[in-house]
Amino acid sequence: MNIEIEYIARAFYDAHEDAQLWDCEPEIIKEEFRSFAREAIRLLAQHEAGAPFADMAPELSKAA
Protein backbone atom coordinates (compact mmCIF):
# COMPACT_ATOMS: atom_id res chain seq x y z
CA MET A 1 0.00 0.00 0.00
CA ASN A 2 1.26 3.46 -0.88
CA ILE A 3 1.07 5.58 2.27
CA GLU A 4 0.74 8.80 0.25
CA ILE A 5 -2.35 7.42 -1.53
CA GLU A 6 -3.77 6.25 1.79
CA TYR A 7 -3.35 9.63 3.48
CA ILE A 8 -4.94 11.50 0.59
CA ALA A 9 -7.78 8.97 0.36
CA ARG A 10 -8.49 9.38 4.06
CA ALA A 11 -8.48 13.16 3.72
CA PHE A 12 -10.98 12.96 0.86
CA TYR A 13 -13.07 10.53 2.87
CA ASP A 14 -13.00 12.71 5.99
CA ALA A 15 -14.12 15.71 3.91
CA HIS A 16 -17.17 13.72 2.76
CA GLU A 17 -20.31 14.78 4.63
CA ASP A 18 -21.37 11.22 5.51
CA ALA A 19 -17.94 10.13 6.69
CA GLN A 20 -17.86 7.60 9.50
CA LEU A 21 -14.70 5.86 10.74
CA TRP A 22 -12.31 4.99 7.91
CA ASP A 23 -11.21 1.77 9.56
CA CYS A 24 -14.82 0.55 9.75
CA GLU A 25 -15.63 1.15 6.09
CA PRO A 26 -15.76 -1.77 3.65
CA GLU A 27 -12.78 -2.16 1.34
CA ILE A 28 -14.87 -1.20 -1.72
CA ILE A 29 -15.51 2.27 -0.24
CA LYS A 30 -11.86 2.70 0.70
CA GLU A 31 -10.78 1.70 -2.80
CA GLU A 32 -13.09 4.32 -4.33
CA PHE A 33 -11.39 7.06 -2.31
CA ARG A 34 -7.94 5.62 -3.12
CA SER A 35 -8.89 5.91 -6.77
CA PHE A 36 -9.76 9.58 -6.23
CA ALA A 37 -6.40 10.06 -4.52
CA ARG A 38 -4.46 8.43 -7.37
CA GLU A 39 -6.29 10.62 -9.88
CA ALA A 40 -5.58 13.76 -7.86
CA ILE A 41 -1.87 12.92 -7.71
CA ARG A 42 -1.81 12.19 -11.45
CA LEU A 43 -3.51 15.50 -12.27
CA LEU A 44 -1.17 17.40 -9.96
CA ALA A 45 1.84 15.80 -11.65
CA GLN A 46 0.50 16.84 -15.06
CA HIS A 47 -0.01 20.38 -13.81
CA GLU A 48 3.48 20.53 -12.36
CA ALA A 49 4.80 19.33 -15.72
CA GLY A 50 3.28 22.41 -17.32
CA ALA A 51 -0.19 21.31 -18.41
CA PRO A 52 -2.75 23.94 -17.38
CA PHE A 53 -5.78 22.64 -15.48
CA ALA A 54 -8.07 23.96 -18.23
CA ASP A 55 -6.53 21.42 -20.62
CA MET A 56 -7.43 18.65 -18.15
CA ALA A 57 -11.13 19.58 -17.80
CA PRO A 58 -12.40 16.57 -19.81
CA GLU A 59 -10.36 14.26 -17.59
CA LEU A 60 -11.72 15.89 -14.44
CA SER A 61 -15.31 15.21 -15.46
CA LYS A 62 -14.47 11.52 -15.97
CA ALA A 63 -12.97 11.31 -12.49
CA ALA A 64 -16.01 12.86 -10.85
| pLDDT at 57 exceeding the cut of 60 | no
Task: Give tens-digit pLDDT for 3-48.
Answer: 999 999 999 999 988 888 999 999 999 999 999 999 999 999 988 8
Q: H-helix or E-strand containing 26?
A: none
- Is there a domain that residue 64 lies in? no
pLDDT top residue among 2 and 57: 2
pLDDT top residue among 43 and 63: 43
| pLDDT at 60 exceeding the cut of 60 | no
- Is there a domain that residue 33 lies in? yes
Which residue range is the domain that position 29 belongs to?
Answer: 1-14+22-47
Our count of domains for the chain comes to 1
Instruction: State the Cα–Cα distance between residues 47 and 37, nearest whole angstrom.
Output: 15
Nearest to 44, CA basis, from 10, 14, 8: 8
State residue 63's pLDDT score.
52
State residue 48's pLDDT score.
86
